[in-house]
Amino acid sequence: MDVIWPTIPDFLVGTRNTLFYCLASFPIALVLGMFLALMDGSRIVWLHGPARIFIEVVRGTPILAQIFIIYYGLGALLGLINPSWALLINVWTAGIGTLALNYAAYEAEVYRAGFLSVEQGQAEAALSLGLSPSQNFFHIQLPQAIPLMIPPFVNDFIYLLKDSAIVSVIAGSDLTSVLNSYVRTHASNPLPFFLLAIVLYLVMSLPVSYVAKRLERRLRAAL
Amino acid sequence: MSLDLHYKQEKPPDIARKRNLWPRNRMVGANYLYYILLAAVIGAFGYYLYTYRDLSLLYLPEMIRGALVTLLVSVLSGICAIIFGLLGAFGSLARFRPLRWLTGIYVEVIRGTPLLVQLYLWYYGIRLLLSNIGFDPHDMLFNSMTVLQSNSLVPDSFNIFFYGILGLSFNYGAYLTEVFRTGILSVERGQSEAALSLGLDERQTMRYIILPQAIRSIIPPLTNNFITLIQDSAFLSVIAVIELEYITIGFALPQADSNQKMYVFVLGALLYLVMCYPLSVAARMMERRLTPDHA
């Protein structure tokens, strides 16, 4: 136990960095996911084609492979176009970018499910009452779809908290990287550090999952 | 605008067809152009693969061997995860309260911490602890295989595989606990009440009435979890299990030329895609067949 005390500040910095990765990439994932869902639901094949391909590729490859491709590969590609653009790719941007792109694909499915859950009758009634398609979308469908989509979004945020550990393989500075460095140096007695890291992760994720369950219960009661 | 599904249009009535009134999903000229462009992009990707074909000839055999290891690890982890999931589901539905409590803690802790941290824990933490006590899976298997005269079949890295598969299946067991639990609870209460009132005891009810019906709602999330398991087996590469991602990283990072580095990573991702995409297509077809039509 006394082994841990001097290392706690490092672990707290790691926790702060993990939260930073998650809070930075989740909004980007939500916005990108919305555009992706709109593209995917369109009848225009120029839109739903590339969107479908993106979603299938992102969901079919491991996030580990994606982060390596973006960190090592994209830097090289950007460097070909314009040498100063290669400086854009560092651990932070690669991590946040990979997490955002990966989760955008999953959020697109959530948006799609949310909009499909709003009854078709609502849209038909709106259009037959004379509302324009965009009025129908913004005033009828969207307000009814958003409460249905919030519990899956919160669940996805919990998954994001854990998937943020992936940046440790490209030497990011989140909680798992701190844990990794201490476990490598204290190989004879690593268990206290594991305990500390697990407690910190639970402190981050349990409140969110509690909120998610409460929201889900309220939503199910409302239905 | 509506996010409609791409369903097949029915035949329009004669009058609409004559007057060209029916909205049909016709292939417009722009659609043809898109598919031509898509074919061109795929052709360009094929040309990209061809450009670095010496790299693929060099590395592809080893990577395919790694992909087979990935599949083997995923299947073994999947089976163990189903076992853990069933134990967890029955534990969470048990009447013995400490068992429910224990299972709840298992599910919450595992679902609240990253898989990477759990793998590190299994490999760096628990393995060392157990080997201090004297539990060494490799030695145990080696000694028992010596009796069967085939101890050369046991690889030196067996410990890594053992704890890697254990870590993966323990993790996915927690998610599958929730899947099985939801599936079992989704069978209507009336079924179990009728079975019990007809004289079946609890075990018979579970085995003959509830589980066959629960399997229908269990299979879609189960297949999705299995596909994610195949991808998450890539994490085993960080604890030095020699599967596809490990081999890809091992070949790619030493490359001096960044383009070649990117190519090897793309090749690895392509192999994962080849493994996972058919499975996800099959899973979606199965899901569509299993979902009852709500009219």
Residues B288-294 have a mean pLDDT of 68
Residues of B in contact with A61 (CB under 8 A): 231, 269, 272-273, 276
Residues of A in contact with B120 (CB under 8 A): 176, 179-180, 183, 194
Task: Share the mean pLDDT of chain B.
Answer: 84
The series of mean pLDDT values per 10 residues for chain A, 223 residues long, is 82 93 95 91 85 91 91 80 80 93 92 83 86 84 84 90 91 89 85 90 91 83 67
Domain ranges for chain A, please list them: 5-222
Interior/surface letters B233-250, b for 16+ CB within 10 angstroms, e for the rest: bbbbbbbebbbbbbbbbe
Global ipTM? 0.82
pLDDT of residue B26: 63
Using a cut of 0.90, tell me whether the model's pTM lies above it: no
Q: Does B243 touch chain A (CB under 8 A)?
A: no
- Cβ–Cβ below 8 Å for A45 and B31: yes
Residues of B in contact with A15 (CB under 8 A): none
Q: How far is CA A20 from CA A14, A26, A45, B49, B223, in A?
A: 10, 10, 37, 38, 33
Nearest CA in chain A to B238: A169
- Cβ–Cβ below 8 Å for A49 and B38: yes
- Cβ–Cβ below 8 Å for A68 and B249: yes
pLDDT for residue B41 is more than 50:
yes
pLDDT of residue B101: 93
> CA dihedral in degrees (B63, B66, B71, B76; nearest 10)?
-170
The one-character DSSP state at B22 is: S
> CA dihedral in degrees (A11, A17, A22, A27; nearest 10)?
150
pLDDT for residue B295 is more than 50:
no
Residues B213-242 have a mean pLDDT of 86
Tens of pLDDT along B137-161? 888 888 888 888 777 777 778 888 8
- Cβ–Cβ below 8 Å for B120 and A134: no
pLDDT of residue A198: 92
Q: Does A115 touch chain B (CB under 8 A)?
A: yes
Residues B107-132 have a mean pLDDT of 88
Q: How far is CA A160 from CA A104, A144, A145, in A?
A: 11, 25, 22
pLDDT of residue B5: 47
- The domain made up of B71-241 has a fold known as MetI-like fold (1.10.3720)
pLDDT of residue B24: 60
Pairwise CA distance, residues A43 & B3, whole Å: 9
- The domain made up of A5-222 has a fold known as MetI-like fold (1.10.3720)
pLDDT higher at B91 or A148: B91
Residues B8-37 have a mean pLDDT of 66
pLDDT of residue B1: 40
Residues B210-225 have a mean pLDDT of 86
From B111, B233, B266, residue closest to A69, measured CB to CB = B266
- Cβ–Cβ below 8 Å for A176 and B121: no
Domain ranges for chain B, please list them: 71-241, 243-289
Nearest CA in chain B to A137: B1
Q: Are B169 and B81 in contact (CB under 8 A)?
A: yes
